[in-house]
A = this chain, B = another copy of it.
Amino acid sequence: MDEFSFIDNIKPNTYRQNKLIKGIGDDAAIFRMGNEDTVIAVDTFVEGVHFTKETLEPWQIGYRLMAANLSDLAAMGAAPLFYLASVVIPDELPDADVLQIFSGMKKLADVYGVDLIGGDTTSGGLLTLSLTIIGSVPVGKARLRSDARPGDLVFVTGTLGDAGAGLDLLLNNIPVNCPEAEKRKLIKRHQLPTPRVEFALKLREIGRVALNDISDGLANELNEIAASSNVLIEIDDALVPVSKALSHFPKERLDYYKYFAGEDFELVGTVAKSDFPKVEEIAAEAGVRVTEIGFVSYNKERNGKVLLRKNGVLKTLRKKGYVHRKSREKS
């Protein structure tokens, strides 16, 4: 398959976004955002680092990469519109697998009408996918991690740690006495995560929300919010929502799943207490679980930090789960 028949295979027949002026087929793509702000992020997956043949099928690689990118936009309160996909394809990879990867991306993109508008294809090397995602948000309405205020409460969507536990099942064959159906659910949370796009867009009804997506672990995301907003955040371990299935896992792994493994692509946010009933209402409409797990305060000495209350003891929750140059190999 040369690049031209490849592009013919993945090129959309029609574009759905009316903000698009020119899609695939020139030196660059063109869009017209009009009155809205443009939000843009890039995420890269590498074979052996973010996935292996054992953890993801080809279409799941594309699906999961798209989920990670959509999650970044959701965390900004942006509506997804376009993506560009750059792929490095090893010579030995069958064409069918490459097309499957793209169809996995498209499967999730289609849910939101997101259009593929460009990219780059290179042969050789290690299977590497780099996705640039573009969305829009009404002027000044982007959700920043610097918007947490003392008095806010802290909430998360969904349950935390499922993706980490699912990956552990895939990679390490740990002995877990838990129904197979439950195991499959956890594994699916790793392979086919659901970005919280609808919930994030409905949240626009609320004036101010600080928001991050949980890609690098709750500990990391909370520390980013605390640092950017210059506030102290305290959460209660007993309130952090986890799936029942996790009770079957080794106790010493639980904190890792909940706080450091990340990649659940849930959202963590802070909002004024008076706005939380509205958040709960929106979550119910979007079919997403939302849970209050802590609060934001001001403490001159400890602003920028995150505290975890667990078994009556208050500890500093550090980033640990952060992405340094090595950490992605583990996750």
Question: Taking beta carbons and an 8 Å cutoff, which residues of A are in contact with B?
Answer: 1-4, 6, 21-22, 25-33, 37-44, 46-50, 71-73, 75-76, 78, 84, 86, 88-89, 91, 117-126, 128, 130, 132-135, 137, 139, 142, 144-146, 211-213, 228, 322-326, 328-329
Contacts and interface: CB of A to CB of B under 8 A. Distances in A.
A129 to B, nearest CB: 9
B126 A126 contact: yes
Given A4-B322, A124-B48, A325-B1, A76 B30 contact: yes
A25 B30 CA distance: 26
Nearest to A123: B325
Given A4-B322, A122-B49, A126-B126, A42 B132 contact: yes
A139 B145 CA distance: 33
Contacts of A128: 46, 88, 125-126, 128
17 contacts: A2-B324, A3-B323, A3-B324, A29-B40, A30-B38, A30-B142, A31-B37, A32-B37, A32-B38, A40-B134, A42-B120, A44-B86, A44-B120, A49-B125, A86-B130, A123-B329, A128-B128
A22 B142 CA distance: 10
A25 B6 CA distance: 36
Given A27-B41, A86-B130, A22 B122 contact: no
**Could you say which of A4, A33, A130, A137 has the most chain B C-beta atoms within 10 Å of its C-beta?**
A130
Contacts of A75: 26-28
A46 B325 contact: no
Contacts of A91: 326
**Could you say which of A27, A120, A326 has the most chain B C-beta atoms within 10 Å of its C-beta?**
A27
A206 to B, nearest CB: 18
Contacts of A119: 42
Nearest to A144: B26
A29 to B, nearest CB: 5
Contacts of A33: 33, 38
Nearest to A98: B325
A51 B144 CA distance: 39
Contact of A328 (B22, B49, B73, B123): B123
A78 B28 contact: yes
A324 B91 CA distance: 12
B126 A325 contact: no
Given A125-B47, A130-B86, A41 B25 contact: no
Nearest to A126: B125
A53 to B, nearest CB: 15
Contact of A46 (B1, B32, B48, B124): B124
Nearest to A215: B27
